[in-house]
Structure 1
């Protein structure tokens, strides 16, 4: 039960639900234990020929009352105990989702979506079962067993009771062995399910790539292999279940054989009455469920414990990016940014993404960043947003290290458009207004016009209410990029970062967007990362990156006069544009 210690807060908050649930459950068990006594008296009176018509009606009423009590109390314990377990499921799922969102970016580079989805579904469900039906089975197994055995020994015959219970130790040992194997096979099922879920998620997210490369059959084959693996693991578990329950019933049947043989002799010799014999068999029948419940309980608790251990492992993960003990809240961001001798390498990488990198951007100015793929351009944005922390050096914002600033404050004042241009499965208006708490339609339209996507949106049948497919699959690359730009502007940030976010836009549209941004970002700081010189040539300063280091720095005109890397790239792009125009 050590793994469930992390749920102490929940038990404390919901203790009365469990208390009343167990109370009503015990009343159900007591009501069931009254049935053998009614049968005992009825049979004894019938054998003694003292049973009257009035007695028959009276015993019938007793049975009806007991049945109604069982019905009512069973409904109540289900409401309280199962209701508490559903509340636990709700809170656990919320807690898991909230915790996962707080974890650092690096966590998701080492954990697959399929695994995390398995934790959010199967594992939480297993914990719910352990602390719902598990509580019920534990209570039933304990209370009914103790009371039934006591009644059998006291009201019938202790020797018959001992003989009837002889098979039970064998059953207990067998259940323990079964439980260990069940635990292992259930773990195998969980892992197979996570692997299959991950394959499904990847294929649905990359459906365009799958279709464009005509890989449907290959991916179906891969999925079939994962699905077959899950099937085989489930079948191994099912086969064990198939053996488990018949075995319990078989061992239980041995007790009835003993009772019929020895108990029948006691009735013949007059040591016990026929009513005692029937009542004893009724008590023994009631014991079958607790014995089976022990088996179920071990299984459910094994699953729940294993699942809770996996969940605790996630909950114990601490975000790598944390705030200072007394974070600084800036009332106003001027937008002065300074990278001081930054060196940084991504986890599990042996090469620095940035090395001895220093640059200063004054408030209200724009910095253009250009370089080959893998030169460290995106890392500048990643570090400024504190998605990762630098290895050496420091980044200053308005003269203060960003490590000392409130994370929420820092990120809220930076508008970031990444290369992926990720969109959510909701309306275009809600995607654009994602970073604000409330919005007016005219505000959404204003920023959409600045991003040159308004006309595209108005051409859709549902316009701004158009529902975007998963990851923006219903939009073109250029439309996604421009929608993402509108979303960043909507935040009214003091710092705007465009990370190669105009690559899918034609040069005319690009020019109009940049002119619009120049007006919008007047007095604010901009960092524009690009592969095309046309995107950054109007920036106040431009840096050229290679292997994480600045190899050139200056204005567009100054860099052309240097006739080095920037100049060579400019000439190459001019030639490419000329060839494209001639075609």
Structure 2
């Protein structure tokens, strides 16, 4: 049960419901123990020809009332235990999702989406089963077993009871051995299901790429391989778990055989009455259920423990980037001055530095342009400013305060970030633009930000305008429309720091000029960082830095850098040549 210690708070909060459910379950079990005694009495009266019509009616009514009591009790234990298990499922799924939201970016770089989805579905369902029907069966098995044994010994014959129960220790030993194997094999099943989920998710997300490269058959083959592994793991589990029930039934049959043989002799020798014999068989029948339930219980609990172990691996994961203990909590707003002082950084599990000795100053109200070849560290630079990762060496300052001294919420609420890979949710266009607001906002603000981003005219042409629902990841929009919608999402925040990470690469040069013109008034009194491949995007920046292999190789204004005849001028001249060729 150590795997379930993570749920201690839930058990404390809902202990009354579990206790009430168990009480009702025990009441049902007690009522079930009455039946053999009724049968004993009726049989003895029949054998002695002393059963009258009134007596028959009395015992029949007693059986009916006992049956009604059992039905009522079963209803209540289901209400208390099974509904609490559903609440546990709800609680655990919320807790898992909330914890995943708190983990750092790097965690999602090393863990697949399909695997995490399997945790949130299959694993949580297995835990619910263990702490729902599993609790019922454990309680049922223990109470009925002990009570039936006591009744068998007290009301019938000690020797008969011992002989009848002789096979049980062998059953317990076999179940224990098989339980460990079930635990390990179920863990393998869950892992193979994660691989299956991941393969399916990846293919559905990349279906357009698959079709574009005519790789349907190849992807089907890959999916079939993963599906075969999942099937084989399940078959291995079924082979061992499927042996439990036949084993229990065989041992139960041995017990009945012993009772019929030895109990029959005792009745013939008048050591016990026929009623005693019938009652003893009834109690033994009650014991068959717990013996059969042992296999199922072990199966369910082992599966639940294996799944809880996998969930705990996530819940015990700690974020790499967290608020410091001495954060300046009262600082809710950022003015916007930024400084990188001797900053060096390498990604986790990497030996090479992505950035080396970066020194940059961006005063409030100015615009910094960043340009460089692919892989030079441009995006890494702004990721550090957002504290998606923590730096290895040096210091990043905002408003002359160390970045780590500011709460993460303060940093990210004051920054408007438009990433290279724009992600739009499967909501309406308006909801995507207003994503950063918890409450509904004035539509005029949505329209205004869309106009600045030069996407307003495109949106109103959609069938439902701003209420148009987008497909997964905004697939129903073009690349340029997605970029501009993401830009509108950042603009509507009116952030003190605006970061555009190559966010105009998918729009044509004319649209880009319009957007930059619209942004002129918006970026006044804001600190702006613009990353671009096109020189035209950043040539009017107050200061430009050129990155290459994680280092700043040039810095200055556009005119100064063109005169240097360095990397910046080389990129600029190539782009001028490309524009001339395109205009021919």
Tell me which interval the TM-score lies in, with the shorter structure as reference length.
over 0.9
Match of 1:410 in 2: 411
- Provide the TM-score with structure 2 as the length reference: 0.98
Match of 2:116 in 1: 116
Alignment of 1:136-151 (within 5 A): 136-151=136-151
User: How many Å apart are 1:405 and its aligned residue?
Assistant: 0.3
User: How many Å apart are 1:240 and its aligned residue?
Assistant: 2.1
Structure 1 portions without partners, runs of 5+: none
Q: Please, which moves more after superposition, 159-168 or 331-340?
A: 331-340
Match of 1:424 in 2: 425
Alignment of 1:99-498 (within 5 A): 99-328=99-328, 329-438=330-439, 439-498=441-500
Distance 1:448 1:522 in 2: 18
Distance 1:502 1:220 in 2: 36
1:445-485 CA distances to partner (integer Å, 9 max, x unpaired)? 11011111111111110111111111111111111100100
Distance 2:198 2:333 in 1: 44
Equivalences, count: 582
- Provide the TM-score with structure 1 as the length reference: 0.98
SS of alignment partner, residue 243 of structure 2: helix
Distance 1:83 1:71 in 2: 18
1:337/1:159 Cα in 2 relative to 1: closer, same or farther (>3 Å)? same
Alignment of 1:13-52 (within 5 A): 13-52=13-52
Distance 1:403 1:357 in 2: 18
1:518-547 CA distances to partner (integer Å, 9 max, x unpaired)? 211211011000111011111111111111
SS of alignment partner, residue 435 of structure 2: coil
The partner residue of 1:546 within 529, 533, 548 is 548
* 8 Å Cα contact 1:24-1:77 kept in structure 2: yes
1:7-61 CA distances to partner (integer Å, 9 max, x unpaired)? 2211111110011000000000011111111111111111111111222222211
* 8 Å Cα contact 2:241-2:299 kept in structure 1: no
Distance 1:127 1:437 in 2: 33
SS of alignment partner, residue 335 of structure 1: coil
1:137-183 CA distances to partner (integer Å, 9 max, x unpaired)? 11111110111011111111111111110111111111111111111
* 8 Å Cα contact 1:343-1:393 kept in structure 2: yes
Distance 2:316 2:565 in 1: 54
1:332/1:174 Cα in 2 relative to 1: closer, same or farther (>3 Å)? closer
SS of alignment partner, residue 545 of structure 2: strand
* 8 Å Cα contact 2:371-2:547 kept in structure 1: yes
Distance 2:485 2:333 in 1: 27
User: How many Å apart are 1:325 and its aligned residue?
Assistant: 1.0
* 8 Å Cα contact 2:186-2:306 kept in structure 1: no
User: How many Å apart are 1:331 and its aligned residue?
Assistant: 4.4
SS of alignment partner, residue 51 of structure 1: coil
Root-mean-square deviation (CA), in Å?
Answer: 1.1
1:266-295 CA distances to partner (integer Å, 9 max, x unpaired)? 111111111111111110000011112222
User: How many Å apart are 1:239 and its aligned residue?
Assistant: 2.2
* 8 Å Cα contact 1:436-1:490 kept in structure 2: no
User: How many Å apart are 1:548 and its aligned residue?
Assistant: 1.0
1:331/1:175 Cα in 2 relative to 1: closer, same or farther (>3 Å)? closer
Structure 2 portions without partners, runs of 5+: none
